[in-house]
Amino acid sequence: MNCYNASEGLPYPLGATADKQGVNFAIFSANAQRVELCLFDPEGCREIQRINLAVCTDQVWHVYVEGLTAGAIYGYRVYGPYEPQNGHRFNPHKLLIDPYAKQLFGTFHWSNTMLGYTANEDNEDQDLIIDERDNAAEMVKCVVVDNDALLVKNALSPPKPNIPWNKTIIYELHVKGFSKLNMALAESERGFFSSLAQPEVLSYIKQLGVTAIELLPVHVYIDEKFLIDNKLTNYWGYNSLNFFTVHHAYLKNNDIIEFKQFIDAAHAVELEVILDVVYNHTAEGNRLGPTLSFRGIDNASYYGLEAHDARFYINDTGCGNTLNAKHPRVLQMVMDSLRYWAELGVDGFRFDLATVLGRETGGFDPGSGFFDAIRQDPILASCKMIAEPWDIGPGGYQVGNYPSGWSEWNDRYRDIVRCFWRGDAEVLPEFARRIHGSSDLFEHSGRAPSATINFISSHDGFTLNDLVSYNERNNYANNENNNDGHHSNFSYNHGEEGESNNAEIIELRDRQKRNFIATLFLSQGTPMLLAGDELGRTQQGNNNAYCQDNNINWIAWKNIADNDRYLQLFTRYVISLRQQYPLFTSKAYIHRPKELEDENISRVHWYNPEGCEMSEQQWQEADRHTLTWVLENSSVTNNSTVEKSILLLLFNAGNEPEEFYLPQDMNVKKWTPLLDTCEIDGVPKNTISLTENAIVMKHKSMQVLSANFE
């Protein structure tokens, strides 16, 4: 048995850092009385040595182990008071994961030995009694990683694409769900990062026209106990166990290099990669959850605890606990984690329940320590930052209130666009504000239209296909009696619930899908498309499919109907229009015309179907479902001539055909049709007769035209 010599070591960097002579270990705990490093054999079964971290510097315990190398397997035992009522849950009988571990060994399996207390369902005070069973035999363990190998890989990597915000188009996908049923891939590759790195996969994504892949969480996570009991899994992955480690199920050989290779392959074709990250809570859950890492290392520092009784956790996330990002060491961990992924090549981050991170003592603060730390960090300065701007805590809904430099998921855009195309009353004014980039929410702080992340559907809720096929959620497979998931979906089945064989219903549903996609990509702001929506993917009406690791979530590439293949072509065509016409991707908000001498300006106009500007009274008409949106740009050339470009977007969300007269006050000689959602690929097939300067639009349809001044 090896016996390693140990010396004092250094308090920084935190985690396990290997060099040519050994490994330095450093772990933060403000309230621990003693910390032990446990080393295991290569199989992770037998503890071969326990080393006391005898030195603590600025609340960081550290030791240097001579002769130890990368690949070594380890964990910690942390000693201190077990006093839940005072916020302390130290239990040296539990082997703990290093918060800075960059690789884990083994697969997590639920066992009562993972609990720091003696479980007794009949005793509500059960968590006050310490559990003395050892969990090391069943616990996952940490692996020392050779960081130098990653640095060498970084040096050979393609440069980051650095796509400007106003040109960004996001594609949200799940590593496994996107590739599991893709017959173009070898079965052995499906479900892993290696599948996403394949040329045929990246080519498909690139040809859509999107610029960024946003991945659902890839940090290592575990399934909640109640899901295991119901033979379900946490498919989405919003239950992080560690913030520096890739989930093992996405790595074919459990090697971080596989993740890095995917990043490099994406960058090689100028696709950015954004990670959905969960720094708001951890997998340890509430007071009756397991003791796996943070809870046993320093519960009172890592988590927000109730002031009246520190035995209970602040639960602003609805997931049992809330990470205490106000603590400087916890904030440091979050920042170190973000930098780690950015240095691996990640281009941006979408923060789940981001309000948690910005909540200070007085409530949400856009000038909080977290936002300040992000703003000044030189490595993160070039990364895209996206907030899910809500949680269930006090003052949790903060859409539009994040600081400059941040973009936000805009659920008000999602809901009002759904309501408009459904034909709801009294939504037209807000619909106009949302497609105009939600300037009422974001411009006041000097932010650009790109601050709004516009989406119709996301991983959370109905897919686009289900949005036009179901009135009610169908979540029975989740084993919660269909009580989970969103209550208000603003969906409409157009006459039949679920799948239909009625040709008229199918045709209308397909047109509505095209209306949604066209609205999304031609609105001002940053569009986000849910992977598979361009293919008509269904979740069979499940609007909360977080626990379905099966055909409900996996994209059924083989079963895509012909109509849905046309939807893919339509999506590509609409994205190409967005990329072709700069008015769709303005860096600044475009406002109503003003009396200005400068001709270099963009303007927006709103017209009624009669070809006249909308009156205040017409905006307030509850049952008005029609609108003409005009985007205009004037610029003076070098020879002092004025060049103009004008785009007309015509919307008819009503249930009857509508005659639209085109504006007469713009001196346009000819209007060229660019898009018609009545066509399955979007390309206008018939020449529009403009002899009377009018277009008859079908019910539930949209058209786009451009001006020709020659």
Q: Which residue has the higher pLDDT, 683 or 155?
A: 683
The answer, yes or no, to whether residue 642 has pLDDT greater than 70, is no
> Percent of the chain, pLDDT > 70?
96
- Per-residue pLDDT at 121: 86
Give the C-alpha separation, 489 to 411, whole Å.
11
Find residue 528's DSSP bridge partners. 170, 455
H-state helical runs in 190-309: 193-196, 199-208, 225-229, 256-268, 294-302
Q: Hey, what are 357's tokens?
A: 């991170």
Q: Show contacts of 200-206: CB within 8 Å, 24+ apart.
A: 202/265, 202/266, 202/269, 202/271, 203/269, 205/171, 205/271, 206/269, 206/270, 206/271
Q: What share of the chain is helix, strand, coil (3-state, %, to 5)?
A: 25, 20, 50
Q: Is 549 left (phi over 0), alpha (psi -120 to 50) or beta?
A: beta
pTM (two decimals): 0.96
The answer, yes or no, to whether residue 253 has pLDDT greater than 80, is yes
The answer, yes or no, to whether residue 222 has pLDDT greater than 80, is yes
- Per-residue pLDDT at 676: 97
Q: For residue 94, give the amino acid letter.
A: K
Give the C-alpha separation, 407 to 247, whole Å.
26
Q: Is 356 left (phi over 0), alpha (psi -120 to 50) or beta?
A: alpha
Choosing from 388, 658, 676, 679, the catalytic residue is: 388
Choosing from 352, 391, 533, 549, the catalytic residue is: 352
Residue 370 half-sphere exposure toward CB, CA atoms < 13 A: 28
Closest by CA to 506, choosing from 555, 469, 535, is 469
Strands 406-409, 452-455: pairing kind: parallel
Give the C-alpha separation, 433 to 440, whole Å.
7
Mean local confidence (pLDDT), 473-488: 95
How far are the Cα atoms of 432, 435, 626, 630, 632 from residue 606, in angstroms, in the given order? Answer: 9, 12, 11, 6, 11
pLDDT confidence band for 44 (50 / 70 / 90): very high
First-to-last CA distance in the chain? Answer: 87
pLDDT confidence band for 693 (50 / 70 / 90): confident
The answer, yes or no, to whether residue 691 has pLDDT greater than 60, is no
Tens digit of each residue's pLDDT (9 = 90 or more) over 319-343: 999 999 999 999 999 999 999 999 9
DSSP string, 42-68: TTS-SEEEEEE--EEETTEEEEEEET-
Burial class (CB in 10 A: 0-12, 13-18, 19+), 308: exposed
Q: What is the edge-to-edge ordering of all strands in the sheet holding 701-708?
A: 601-607, 626-636, 642-652, 701-708, 670-676
Give the C-alpha separation, 143 to 165, whole Å.
38
Q: Hey, what are 167's tokens?
A: 């040109």
Burial 87-107 (b: 16+ CB within 10 A, else e): bbbbbbbbbbbbbbbbbbbbe
Tens digit of each residue's pLDDT (9 = 90 or more) over 46-103: 999 999 999 999 999 999 999 999 999 999 999 999 999 999 999 999 999 999 999 9
Tens digit of each residue's pLDDT (9 = 90 or more) over 164-205: 999 999 999 999 999 999 988 999 999 999 999 999 999 999
Known catalytic membership, residue 352: yes
> How many other CB atoms are there within 10 angstroms of residue 708's CB atom?
11
SS3 call for 153: helix
Give the C-alpha separation, 456 to 454, whole Å.
7
Q: Please state the φ and ψ torsions of residue 273, each to the nearest 5 degrees.
A: -125, 125
Find residue 76's DSSP bridge partners. 37, 96
SS3 call for 13: coil
Tens digit of each residue's pLDDT (9 = 90 or more) over 378-427: 999 999 999 999 999 999 999 999 999 999 999 999 999 999 999 999 99
Give the C-alpha separation, 184 to 573, whole Å.
24
Known catalytic membership, residue 41: no
pLDDT confidence band for 710 (50 / 70 / 90): low
- Per-residue pLDDT at 369: 95
Give the C-alpha separation, 255 to 103, whole Å.
8
The answer, yes or no, to whether residue 551 has pLDDT greater than 80, is yes
Q: In angstroms, what is the C-alpha Rg of the chain?
A: 28
SS3 letters across 428-496: HHHHHHHHCCCHHHHHHHCCCHHHEEEECCCCCCCCHHHHCCCCCCCCHHHCCCCCCCCCCCCCCCCCC
Mean local confidence (pLDDT), 596-622: 87
The answer, yes or no, to whether residue 559 has pLDDT greater than 80, is no
Give the C-alpha separation, 647 to 77, whole Å.
65
Burial 216-232 (b: 16+ CB within 10 A, else e): bbbbbbbbbeebeeeeb
Is the CB of residue 649 less than 8 Å from the CB of residue 629? yes
pLDDT confidence band for 593 (50 / 70 / 90): low
Residue 53: partners with Cβ closer than 8 Å, 6 or more residues away: 25, 27, 35, 36, 37, 61, 62, 63
Sign of CA dihedral 476, 481, 486, 487: positive
Give the C-alpha separation, 137 to 221, whole Å.
20
